[in-house]
Structure 1
């Protein structure tokens, strides 16, 4: 159902990332070394640095997918990056440099509230590339050297920011995504299943927050019966995009890359979604790649339900959710109750829970898939420890242990 073929980092994005790293190395290195080189930069040096800065600035624009940047600002940015490589001689253009940085700083201030949280880091990188590109054309005065060194540090800091924030990391397409982000002073773990175009189930740490595919399309992540953490359903488009998280007005984004192959399994919006996600998470922690069966009623489950009905020994009620497994289980339970002559009576004090929430005052008996897994075995113990480290607060499940054990 995951359609795992030869998937991985998109070649185009990987190439852009390598070009950006190379451009920052050249441009920032020149800017930081220049204060210690009293001589004027030669023509070859100017062309290499201005060319690297121009390419780096355009690559940042592409990586940022800056639809939040006003079109005129993007055109001005490209123009400011394109002119310096064409200028042969040094010119006292420090004033133009200040103007360019001021223009880009104004754009940054204007887009801060409309762009993603990473927009400021991207704008900083763009502005620093423009600044150094024009600075290369300035005579090596003391002011130019100080400003150049500051812009070199800015380039390194901006690159570090987008790297730490995960904006240069693109997950493999079609593979469930597990990541960890900082939000509102707390660490939040995020699981996205199946991480393919269409509806996806998102599990997060048990922290009040909202998630969505855009800043104006956020929905609250809520607890779900029988699970831990918080859950939400998010529609993700094809290809690279961002998953937005908001906690009390503090926002961050998680890069996602769903690819172009749509999810072919059952609707993850159903009640079995969290159980399937638990199994997917466990399989991911083992390094496995491939399809996992959708939660369903197994022969052993059916046998355990018949034994449970026999042990009740009298009238009982059944509580179920809208899942296919619960419907199949309810049919098995009713057939066995009829065979033994037991009445299935709503409101009975004894309740067999196949899904959903039982009455608070009832004596509940849980279906096999709702009971905790056996973690006393070496395999179960390793599963619990690994899950706790990878997704603190997540409770081991029977489906997860089964996927972990293969």
Structure 2
């Protein structure tokens, strides 16, 4: 149901990530080794270090997509990174370093309150790149070496933080996203379907939280009848961005990249959305793409429904929702009931459930796709075990088992 032309890794972001890893390796390695090398750095070494630091700082700015940073702060940052490579000789610029750090930290502190949770790690990386770039021009005094080594450790720590937080991941564009994030006292599993521009289903573990595409656009993830976990609907714009999650005031973000080609399948806000998401989750757990057909009434389902009508053997009520599958199933049921001379009328004690929440006090007959799957086979048990480990609390479904086996 997906557009295959929209799927793939964002090459530009992958290159930025590789450049950042290389820049941190060169700059942090030099800063950590310098305390053990008494001689001053030569011109070539200074040019290499300041050049890598400048490139690394700009790449962090691009990866962070720092729209939360004031424009003047971004300009100042680029200026502080661009000047050191142009200076030829070594000079005592500790005073300039203090001024540069003060300007950057002041701007960063103001931006922090409007930035995402990951902005602190990005600001740390930017500040460390600026600091090492200017320190490369300083004579190798004891203080310069100690400060440089501290900034080298800071670079490695900042890179580790954004890596652990998943900010350097490259989700497949236009393919459903499955991830686990640290949020509050326990991790939260997140499934985004279809992970394309437009409305998306966000399925999470059964934890009270809110999700959204911006910190001021959060909606609560709520339980849904007949399902497990929690569900929310979030609009994702085109291009790489972030999905925000808030749990009792603790916030984090998940990188998303819906691409530019909108979802062409049925409206995921409909009642079949969770069943489709269950199948997508199973497919993702097998390592396959999440490109699956939308739930539909199969010939086997129709035949099973006719058998249920025959088994009920008298007046019964049909309960449906507004999904296309339920509407087609209701037509099959009514035709079979008419053929057998059975009355289909509301308010009876026998209810054939094709969708929706069944009323209390009646005998329920569930449609085939609403019946829990048979988990007695070895393959089904593997599906249930894998699902329990990967997405705790998620219940196996018939659609999920079919996607797992298929």
TM interval, shorter chain, is over 0.9
Aligned-partner SS, 2:2: coil
Paired residue for 1:263? Answer: 263
Paired residue for 1:333? Answer: 333
Aligned-partner SS, 1:271: coil
Paired residue for 1:348? Answer: 348
Alpha-carbon distance in 2 for matches of 1:128, 1:290: 40
Aligned-partner SS, 1:238: coil
Paired residue for 1:112? Answer: 112
Paired residue for 1:15? Answer: 15
Give the deviation of 1:19 after TM superposition. Answer: 0.9
Alpha-carbon distance in 1 for matches of 2:276, 2:166: 26
The answer to whether the 8 Å contact 1:321/1:354 transfers is yes
The answer to whether the 8 Å contact 2:177/2:192 transfers is yes
Paired residue for 1:81? Answer: 81
Per-residue CA distance 1:24-62 (angstroms, 9 max, x = gap): 111111111111111111111111111111110001001
Aligned-partner SS, 2:359: coil
Give the deviation of 1:230 after TM superposition. Answer: 0.7
Per-residue CA distance 1:178-222 (angstroms, 9 max, x = gap): 000011121100111111111111111110111111111111111
Alpha-carbon distance in 2 for matches of 1:20, 1:49: 14
Runs of 4+ in 1 over 4 A off after TM superposition: none
Alpha-carbon distance in 1 for matches of 2:95, 2:364: 77
- Alignment gaps of 5+ in structure 1: none
Give the deviation of 1:314 after TM superposition. Answer: 2.2
The answer to whether the 8 Å contact 2:280/2:290 transfers is no
Paired residue for 2:34? Answer: 34
Aligned-partner SS, 1:244: strand
Q: Report which stretch shifted further, 145-154 or 87-96.
A: 87-96
Correspondences of 1:287-366 after superposition (within 5 Å): 287-289=287-289, 291-366=291-366
Correspondences of 1:4-403 after superposition (within 5 Å): 4-5=4-5, 7-289=7-289, 291-403=291-403
The answer to whether the 8 Å contact 1:329/1:354 transfers is yes
The answer to whether the 8 Å contact 2:190/2:202 transfers is yes
Aligned-partner SS, 1:300: helix
Alpha-carbon distance in 2 for matches of 1:284, 1:21: 28
Aligned-partner SS, 2:4: coil
Alpha-carbon distance in 2 for matches of 1:291, 1:143: 57
Alpha-carbon distance in 2 for matches of 1:274, 1:354: 15
Q: Report which stretch shifted further, 256-265 or 337-346.
A: 337-346
The answer to whether the 8 Å contact 1:97/1:134 transfers is yes
The answer to whether the 8 Å contact 1:4/1:175 transfers is no
Alpha-carbon distance in 1 for matches of 2:366, 2:96: 73
Aligned-partner SS, 2:276: helix
- Alignment gaps of 5+ in structure 2: none
Q: How many residues align?
A: 406
Alpha-carbon distance in 1 for matches of 2:61, 2:6: 28
Give the deviation of 1:361 after TM superposition. Answer: 2.1
Per-residue CA distance 1:51-97 (angstroms, 9 max, x = gap): 11111000100111100000000000000001111111122111221
Q: Structure 2 vs 1, CA of residues 259 and 6 (structure 1 numbering), >3 Å: closer, same or farther?
A: closer
The answer to whether the 8 Å contact 1:2/1:264 transfers is yes
Give the deviation of 1:335 after TM superposition. Answer: 2.0
The normalised TM-score by structure 1 is 0.97
Alpha-carbon distance in 1 for matches of 2:289, 2:186: 30
The answer to whether the 8 Å contact 2:304/2:368 transfers is yes
The answer to whether the 8 Å contact 1:23/1:55 transfers is yes
The answer to whether the 8 Å contact 1:372/1:397 transfers is yes
Alpha-carbon distance in 2 for matches of 1:280, 1:4: 16
Q: Report which stretch shifted further, 344-353 or 19-28.
A: 344-353
Q: Structure 2 vs 1, CA of residues 6 and 70 (structure 1 numbering), >3 Å: closer, same or farther?
A: closer
Give the deviation of 1:8 after TM superposition. Answer: 2.6
The answer to whether the 8 Å contact 1:49/1:133 transfers is yes
Give the deviation of 1:341 after TM superposition. Answer: 2.5
The answer to whether the 8 Å contact 1:4/1:289 transfers is no
Alpha-carbon distance in 2 for matches of 1:360, 1:96: 75
Per-residue CA distance 1:90-140 (angstroms, 9 max, x = gap): 221112212222222222222222111110100000000001111111111
The answer to whether the 8 Å contact 1:199/1:268 transfers is yes
Alpha-carbon distance in 2 for matches of 1:325, 1:182: 37
